[in-house]
Amino acid sequence: MLKFKVDGMTCGHCAQTVTKAVEALPRVERAVVDLKAGEVTVQGDADEGAVRQAIEDAGYDVRNAA
């Protein structure tokens, strides 16, 4: 499981965008966005760099692994 602190997610639409982008990656079982905490939890065996990149490409800032 991977966990990231992500800046810029403000609403349900953002959560949906990030969830879709991350779940499109290989070896991701599920992505869960916690809007209040500004966190994204990724279940599965995904590559950390690939997840980070997908979130950045979707337009959000990954601060660090939470």
Residues forming the site for Cu ion (CB under 5 A): 10-11, 13-14
Question: Per the structure block, which two tokens stand in for 37?
Answer: 């905490």
Least distance (Å) from Cu ion to the CB of residue 47?
26
CB of 33 to Cu ion, least distance (A): 10
Work out how close the CB of 30 gets to Cu ion at its nearest, in angstroms, rounded to a whole number: 20
**Can you spell out the DSSP letters for 30-45?**
EEEEETTTTEEEEEES
30 vs 59, beta carbon nearer Cu ion: 59
For the beta carbon of residue 22, count every other beta carbon within 10 angstroms: 26
